[in-house]
Amino acid sequence: NAGVTQTPKFRILKIGQSMTLQCTQDMNHNYMYWYRQDPGMGLKLIYYSVGAGITDKGEVPNGYNVSRSTTEDFPLRLELAAPSQTSVYFCASSPDRAGTEAFFGQGTRLTVV
Amino acid sequence: SQKIEQNSEALNIQEGKTATLTCNYTNYSPAYLQWYRQDPGRGPVFLLLIRENEKEKRKERLKVTFDTTLKQSLFHITASQPADSATYLCALGPSGGGADGLTFGKGTHLIIQP
């Protein structure tokens, strides 16, 4: 049972480059989320999705884009990478909104130089 | 604006004692509150959920309380073990009509010393 899988685990980007962080879940969950975690800080919500074809902004969406074409996949796109986007990114999923647990991936550690 | 406070400094507890972690929040009325454990280099792992109409929840050696008047949750680990050493995150669910997704505290780093 894979759960939530993120790729890559590590990546170094140069300023101005772009990349896509992949996230897939095999639990048939409707809700999916992208968070970033900076050292000594709490996780901040970037974008979320309540089902295929539906996405919405979280607390810190600037510089990112998402899509949700299938229930399983929720990729996060970084355009024109900036040093401020250096962080650890976590994808998560949950069955619904009503207080069920969230399942997290292992994270992607991104460094922008 | 919403604010969540956890003991951000390390909490050192002797093995066998009860560890108590605190989560305080302001300007918020969450429908529920969750606790997660995070080990270095790993994603958070769900531990317990407590809803706004519940006072206490237990799971094995874990206990969570939720006081919506004080705007505080306490997380207890009884008979603590070195394997319980990790960072523990408090997370608040959306208030009625609020955006989806959890709002996390910075976490408390718990160290259980043998």
Q: For position A29, what pLDDT does the model report? A: 94
Report yes or no: B93 at the A interface, CB cutoff 8 Å. yes
**Residue A57: which CATH number?**
2.60.40.10
The residue among B39 and B7 whose pLDDT is bigger is B39
- Tokens 């510089």 correspond to A63
Q: For position A37, what pLDDT does the model report? A: 97
Looking at the domain assignment, is residue A31 inside a domain?
Answer: yes
The range of the structural domain enclosing residue A18 comes to: 4-98
Looking at the domain assignment, is residue A22 inside a domain?
Answer: yes
Looking at the domain assignment, is residue A112 inside a domain?
Answer: no
Q: Is A85 helix (H, G, I), strand (E, B) or coil?
A: helix
Confidence of residue B16 (pLDDT cuts 50, 70, 90): very high
Confidence of residue B100 (pLDDT cuts 50, 70, 90): confident
- Calculate the average pLDDT of chain B: 91
Task: Specify the range with the lowest mean pLDDT, choosing from A19-28, B29-38, B82-91.
Answer: B29-38
Q: Which residue of A has its CA nearest to B6?
A: A42
Closest to B10 measured CA to CA, from B83, B62, B85, B92? B85
The contacts of residue A60 (CB under 8 Å, 6+ apart) are: A36, A44, A45, A46
Looking at the domain assignment, is residue A71 inside a domain?
Answer: yes
Report yes or no: A45 at the B interface, CB cutoff 8 Å. yes
Looking at the domain assignment, is residue A107 inside a domain?
Answer: no
Looking at the domain assignment, is residue A104 inside a domain?
Answer: no
Q: How many domains does chain A have?
A: 1
Looking at the domain assignment, is residue A108 inside a domain?
Answer: no
Chain A: closest CA distance from residue B91 (Å): 9
Looking at the domain assignment, is residue A82 inside a domain?
Answer: yes
Tell me which chain A residues have a C-beta less than 8 angstroms from the C-beta of B104: 35, 42-44
In chain B, what are the domains?
Answer: 1-31+39-80+110-114 (2.60.40.10)
Q: Please report, in tens digits, the pLDDT of each residue of chain A (113 residues total).
A: 689 999 999 999 999 999 999 999 999 999 999 999 998 888 999 999 999 999 999 999 999 999 999 999 999 999 999 999 999 999 999 987 666 889 999 999 999 99
Contact B101 A48 (CB under 8 A): yes
Q: For position A98, what pLDDT does the model report? A: 61
Chain A: closest CA distance from residue B101 (Å): 7
Residue to substitute from A4, A31, A34, A43, interface B, most B β-carbons within 10 A: A43
Q: What is the 3-state secondary structure (H, E, C) of chain B?
A: CCEEEECCCCEEEECCCCEEEEEEEECCCCCEEEEEEECCCCCCEEEEEEECCCCEEEECCEEEEEECCCCEEEEEECCCCHHHCEEEEEEECCCCCCCCCCEECCCEEEEEEC
Report yes or no: B102 at the A interface, CB cutoff 8 Å. yes
Q: For position B7, what pLDDT does the model report? A: 78
* Residue B95 pLDDT greater than 70, yes or no: no
Report yes or no: B32 at the A interface, CB cutoff 8 Å. yes
Q: For position A99, what pLDDT does the model report? A: 67
Confidence of residue B99 (pLDDT cuts 50, 70, 90): low
